[in-house]
Structure formats: structure tokens, C-alpha cells
Amino acid sequence: MPEKKGGPFSEIHGNAELLNFISSRIEDGDLAHAYILEGPDGSGKMLLAVLTAAALAGKRHASKVKRMVSPDVVVFAPQPGHKSVTVDEIRALKSDAAMTPNELDCRVFIFDEAQDMSTASQNTLLKLLEEPPKNVYFFLLCTSASGLLPTVRSRAPVLRMELFSDEELRSYLLENVKKSRNFSPDDFDIAVRAARGTIGGAIKSLSSRAVTAESGDRALASDLISISARLCSGGRPSKLKAELFSLAARLPSDRLELAEILSLSEFALRDLVAAKVNPDIDQSALLFYRTPEEPKEISEEISLADLSGMFSIIDGTINELAMNVNVYTTQISMLHRLSRIG
């Protein structure tokens, strides 16, 4: 039975079975004290956790919960400079969780990116899950429950978010996102494929550089990947290294602009991996290249190991840029590491 229009979970598309399960548990008063919500980025995990908290709060306080201003609903997310929630944060939570709710009848704690928590952090959290305070609920959000310790998984049922077909995403976007009608059929298809089955991913990809990038940025990302790939194949290393390092003059000095071009490069690398694995790949599977011929040709001369190495370097550079390191130094370091692959 689908979620009723105007019901507590009406903001979530699809996921009928999951929503009915949670709704019935709340209605019957037997919601578990902890759940693991599993799904890719953009699949609605955070929205589901917040709406569940709002449903538990009741109509009087639901609006405050949805606006994230209720003192009884707390989201734990990695702080700047940290990959995940720290042990100290979870230790502090132990006494906080035992406190009487401020205005609700319960307290709700949501852990984003839970799969990235260290073993020590998870073990500290486990103690709370084993002996949860009364009227306290925990939601662990993760892309894959396999990243959590078996002992943690044993204390919280795994609820999986629904993924949608490309056709379902197309229909949703055309019906609910006005700007989706402004894209060419090819660019619209790229946005849908890049979403990997998620509503949030589809909406985000409509604004992503893979779809909206100007031709100059696409050319720069293409050159970065093409030159690096040819270096890996062993062709004229001195000349190609000079070409690679000459890109430093063309790469933007702005931190965000550089990160966007590197994100484009990651889309290109995903296409090369796909073409390497499947020589019969067609245009519908591509995220960056417009036709399958170019990624097929490039991927023939480079190993999967080298493609993986290139991706690690570029992805690591994007992470470094997010930590406010010197942009030019980061550029040169990346180009140097790319020149040594193969």
C-alpha cells in the first residue's frame, strides 16, 4: 500500500515497501531503537531519517524537526579535517543520550557516512546500541552496510533505499524538475545515467560539470586524461611528459574551478574503465565522451591497474583541494604523480 498523499513520508519518491514498514512500526509503537539505512549518495537516506524523526515527534513538533531546529534530533557528520565522526564525539553522546528530551517524547541521533567511522568509533557506539537509553533512536546512514562492524550490524536491522531505472528517473525529472526540460536529449541522458538510480543523484547531475561544462573545460579534462593514458602506454615519454606539465599553464588557479575540471576527468576515467571491461560499450553507458569510439581507442592502450592509479591520484587531488592546500603546488604534485604511472 503506497504512502498516503500528505502523509509523513510523502516527500519521498517510491520506496513504498520501506515506508509502509516504518509507518506501521511507528503506529504500533514497536520501532527498533536503531536502524542502518543503506543506499548510494542521493538515494534519500538522510531525508528518510529526518522524516522518521518528524513522525515520531508528532504533528506539533514535526515542522521543527524537518527544519533541523529541534534540540532533540541531532545529526552527526564528519567535521572539517576528519574523515568520520570521532571517538570523542561518540563518548560525549553517551551522557547526552541519557538526558531527558527537551520538547519531544524521544531523542533521535543520526550518523551520516557511518561506514567511514573507525573501528574505535564503532566500538564506542556499539556500547550505546547494546544498552540504549529509553526513548532514544539511532539511524546509521551508509552507502554500504559492509563498512560497519558485524557487531554493529547485529544490533540494527539494515533497511535499503530503492534504486530507480533510467526510465523512472527520466519520468520523475521531467515531471518534477523544470530545468530538466531545457537540456538536449544527449545531455539529459548523461545526467540520468550519472545518477546511478537515485533521485538526489539525478537532480544533482543536472547541474554537474559532466552535463553543463563548457567546451574548453571538457577539452582540458580530455587532454589531461588522454596525455596521461598515452604516457602509461609507453609512447614518447619525454615529449608526453612535457605536454602533461604544460597543462599547468592551462589549469585554473581557482580552487573550485580546478576541482570541477578534475571531477570531469573522473567521469572520463569511468568511461575508459567501462570501455576496457566491455569493448562493445555503446553511447548509452557513457558519462563524459559523446561517442564510444574515443574511450575504446584510449582504453585499448592502457591497463585497468593504470586507470585505477590515475583515478586515485585525481580523486586524492580533489580531496587535497578541499583541505585548503596551495593550489599550484597541488597541481604540480598531481601532474608529477600522473607522469610516473605505468
pLDDT digits (tens, 9 = 90+) for 170-204: 999 999 988 888 777 877 887 888 788 999 988 88
Closest CA to 308 of 334, 263, 272: 272
What pLDDT band is residue 1 in, cutting at 50, 70 and 90?
very low
The predicted structure's pLDDT at residue 213: 56
Three-state secondary structure readout of the chain: CCCCCCCCCCCCCCCHHHHHHHHHHHHHCCCCCEEEEECCCCCCHHHHHHHHHHHHHCHHHHHHHHCCCCCCEEEECCCCCCCCCCHHHHHHHHHHHCCCCCCCCCEEEEECCHHHCCHHHHHHHHHHHHCCCCCEEEEEEECCHHHCCHHHHCCCCEEECCCCCHHHHHHHHHHHCHHHHHCCHHHHHHHHHHCCCCHHHHHHHCCCHHHHCCHHHHHHHHHHHHHHHHHHCCCCHHHHHHHHHHHHHCCCCCHHHHHHHHHHHHHHHHHHHHHHHCCCCCHHHCCCCCCCHHHHHHHHCCCHHHHHHHHHHHHHHHHHHCCCCCHHHHHHHHHHHHHCCC
> 144-148, 255-259, 313-317: lowest mean pLDDT where?
255-259
pTM: 0.67
63-98 pLDDT, tens digit each: 999 999 999 999 998 877 777 888 999 998 888 888
Give the position of cell 504500533: 28
| pLDDT, tens only, 320-339 | 888 878 999 999 999 999 99
CATH of 213-339, one of 1.20.272, 3.30.70, 1.10.3210, 3.40.1130: 1.20.272
Mean of the pLDDT values across residues 125-152? 94
Q: Look at residues 220, 241, 238, 227 and name the one whose alpha carbon lies nearest to residue 301.
A: 227
Q: Is the pLDDT reported for residue 28 higher than 90?
A: yes
Residues 6+ apart with CB under 8 A from 46: 75, 110, 112, 141
- Alpha carbons within 13 A on the beta-carbon side of 232: 23
Q: What is the mean pLDDT of the chain?
A: 88
Decide: 68 and 53 in contact? Cβ < 8 Å. no
CATH number for 16-160: choose from 3.10.129.10, 3.40.50.150, 3.40.50.300, 3.40.1520.20.
3.40.50.300
48 vs 290, more confident:
48
Q: Which residue has the higher pLDDT, 12 or 212?
A: 12
Burial code (b: 16+ CB inside 10 Å, e: under 16) for 110-140 equals: bbbbbbbbeeebbebbbebbeebeeebbbbb
The Cβ of residue 178 has, within 10 Å, a number of other Cβ atoms equal to 9
8 Å CB contact between 251 and 271:
no
**Domains in the chain: boundaries:** 16-160, 166-211, 213-339
